[in-house]
Each structure stands twice: as structure tokens, then as C-alpha cells.
Amino acid sequence: MTQKRRVVEALAVRYFKRRAGKAVHPDARDAVHFLNPDERRALRRIEYLAVGRAAIVGAVCAGLGAIANVALQPLLGDDPSSASWGRWVEFMLLTLLAALPLVAIELSLIYWNAIDSVHQLAAAAGLPLFRAKEVGQDVVRHAGDIVDDEDEIFAAVLARAALEIPNPPRPMFGIDPRREASRLRILLATLVYKAKVSLTKFVARTLLTRIFGRAALRAWIPFVAVPITALWDALVCRRALREARLRAIGPSAASELLGFVLAPHPEPSPGLREALMRAIGSAVVRSRDFHPNLIEMLDDLKSRIGETDAEALDDVPRFIECLRRLLPAEQKAALHTLVIACILDGRVRQGERAIMTRAFRVCGRPPPRIQVLVLQRALLSGDQLAPKMLDLLTP
């Protein structure tokens, strides 16, 4: 998988490699995706401590920024509303000069906390961060890309989760994750996500000012940022660690589930091979994201069933038409693959629910909403997987 290595990502991978000797080797008796009770306790402890550290960092940095803001307020006089533009410009510049170093320190500590915690999670679960793996060799190399070393691919995937680096949007395996996506909607969602902390602070300040009055709040309103920043930093850290854990155990879970799907079809027909590939492609398109777990799943599926001559694997209507031509047993395998692909990134979006509903109804089966949630929960929790979980999807 060819990726353009970002500076912070490269630093994270280097940090992982420097500490690689401290990682434990996985227990060969357990599948990687199965978390035993000891591993679960260790992972919970690591997550709680990391989230707590993130909240403390956010609160301290926001508190220092609020103190600087209060200390500079005399520049505006007794009535800030009547202060001159020159005073306001001076106040804003000095506030910005005080805030920028704090923001840099906060981000550095938050990222270090996430990266170090992801390494601890991998070690506690017995997951090797460096392994030889060739994924998605049909990806076109772009000029200026820095190629991941084979043994760094898995570490880089976890580093991107820790740093909240988005998955690459360009097509792979002939599948374009943005085929049905609205560019404007993606842009707006990105802007809202990036501005979440500022928007929350603005709303909180506005509400408190209206409730208590501007004069009463003038002295301490900057401190509204303290609990808000602490909460957001904690939530972002929790989300990053859960995503990292999902990326760590996802490929192993997908491999075992694919084994269950293909067990009744040791020599799948050309139609079934096409349907299985299109099932994953449809899930990618409807999620609008090429999650690393789905890349691993596609690569694993290709190694099991071989290449397919089908084109436009991301064309959802073609997947539906392909389903209609399959035998009932083959339809069952294709539906199972679709469900696995839809839950493998940890979330089932509205578009994914819609394609699952349509696919099951085309095959004359009721949509298995509860059974999908059960399988998703088992994946996220690190439970032992079994063929019966898939059979319950298509009774």
C-alpha cells in the first residue's frame, strides 16, 4: 500500500520502531482479534489513563490561556464595548501571542499521549507493530509519494489512527470511495469537525452571557474554555484509541469471518467471486471511506479466490444485479460478505444500512438489523467469533 508519509506520521512510526523491543509476542494459541480477560483489563486501564491525561492537558493549557486573557483585559478599560479599535487590536495580538505556544504544547502532548498509548495497547494485546505485509499492490504510485517499508505498514496504520489522519480518498483495487459522495457535503462535514471546539466554546459563552449578563461574566468567561477543552481532548483521545484497537484486531477478524463465508465454497464460481468483490466495493462506496480493515479484507479475499475480470467494483447497481444471478447458497455468502464489510470499520452508516436492506430484500430475506448489531458488538469487544454468528444473519 503506497502512502505519502506525513512528518508526524513518520515520527510516530519511528517512535514505534524505537520501542519495538518492548512489545510482547502474540500468543499463537489465540487469534489476534480475540481479547482474553487479562488483555481486556489491561486495555481498559491503558485507555482510562490516556483519556485522563488528555483531559488534564486540555484543562491546564486552556486554564493558562484563560489566565492570560484575564490578565490582558485591563487593556480594554472598564467598558470593553467602548474601547478603541487600537486597544482591541493590541488585546487580540497579545492574546494570540500567549495562546499560540499553549496550543503547540497542547497538541504536542496530546499527540504524544495518543501515540504512546497506542503502543501500550499493542503491547498489552500482543500485537506485532512491524510485520511484512503487501497490501493493495495495484495502487498507482503518485509522484512525490514516500513508500512505506513492508514492515512499517501496520505501524503506520495505527499511527494514523492515533494522530487522526484521514484515510486516503484515492481509488484502490478499482474502487473509488467517493464515487457517490457529494464534495460539498464532505467539505462542510470536515469544517464542522475541525471547528468543533471553537463552536462549542462560542455557544457556551453566548448562552452564559445571556443567562447571567455580560458584566457578571466578564471576569471569568474565558475560563469556560477549561472544561470544554478538557472534555473534547478526552473524547478525541478515546476515539483515537478505539480506532487504533479496531485497526489492530480488524484484519484478523475479517480473515476468520471470510474463512467461515468461503468454507462451503472451496471453488467459488466466477459469479460468486465477482459478487464477493462487489459486496466489499459497495460497502466502501456507501461508507465514503476506504478503511484500512477493508483494504486488508480485499487483499485477503483476492489471495483466497484469485482475480476477477469484473470492472467498476464500486458500482452498487451492478452488485444488486450480480446478486440476482446467484444461487441461493451463493447469495448467502455474498450477503455475509456485505455485512462483514459494513461493520469492519466499527460503524454502520445510513448508506450502509440502506444497501444491506436492499440486498437482503432482493434475495428474498428480511434485513437482519439486530443480528448485525450483535456481530458488530462481538467484533468491537474482541469476542470469539463463530460461524453461527453469520448463519443468524440468513436463517
Provide the whole-model pTM: 0.77
Cα–Cα distance, 5 to 149 (Å, whole number):
11
| Cα 331 → chain centroid | 30
Q: 172: which strand partners?
A: 175
pLDDT of the residue at 391: 94
Cβ partners under 8 Å of residue 7, min gap 6:
none
pLDDT of the residue at 49: 96
Cβ partners under 8 Å of residue 385, min gap 6:
33, 34, 253, 256, 257, 260, 378, 379
pLDDT of the residue at 2: 40
pLDDT of the residue at 142: 39
Instruction: Per-residue pLDDT tens, the chain, 395 aa: give them.
Output: 444 456 777 777 777 777 765 544 545 455 667 777 888 888 889 999 999 999 999 999 989 988 988 888 788 777 766 778 888 888 888 888 888 898 889 888 988 898 889 888 888 777 766 654 444 443 333 334 344 454 566 677 778 777 777 776 666 666 766 665 555 555 565 556 556 666 676 666 666 655 655 555 566 777 888 888 899 899 989 998 998 888 888 888 999 999 999 999 999 999 999 999 999 999 999 988 888 899 889 999 999 998 888 888 889 999 999 999 999 999 999 999 999 999 998 889 999 999 999 999 999 999 999 999 999 999 988 888 999 999 999 98
pLDDT of the residue at 387: 94
pLDDT of the residue at 134: 44
Report whether 329 contacts 391 (CB < 8 A): no
Q: 175: which strand partners?
A: 172
pLDDT of the residue at 17: 74
Which cell is 99 given? 495562546
Report whether 382 contacts 40 (CB < 8 A): yes
- State the residue for C-alpha cell 483515537: 240
Task: Give alpha helix (H) positions in 73-182.
Answer: 85-125, 153-162
pLDDT of the residue at 277: 94
With 0-12 / 13-18 / 19 or more C-beta atoms within 10 angstroms meaning exposed / middle / buried, residue 159 is buried
What the chain holds in terms of domains, given with CATH numbers, is: 28-134+177-241 (no CATH), 263-391 (1.10.3680)
State whether the Cα torsion 234-237-241-242 is positive or negative: positive
Q: How far is CA 208 from CA 70, 217, 221, 225, in A?
A: 17, 8, 8, 12
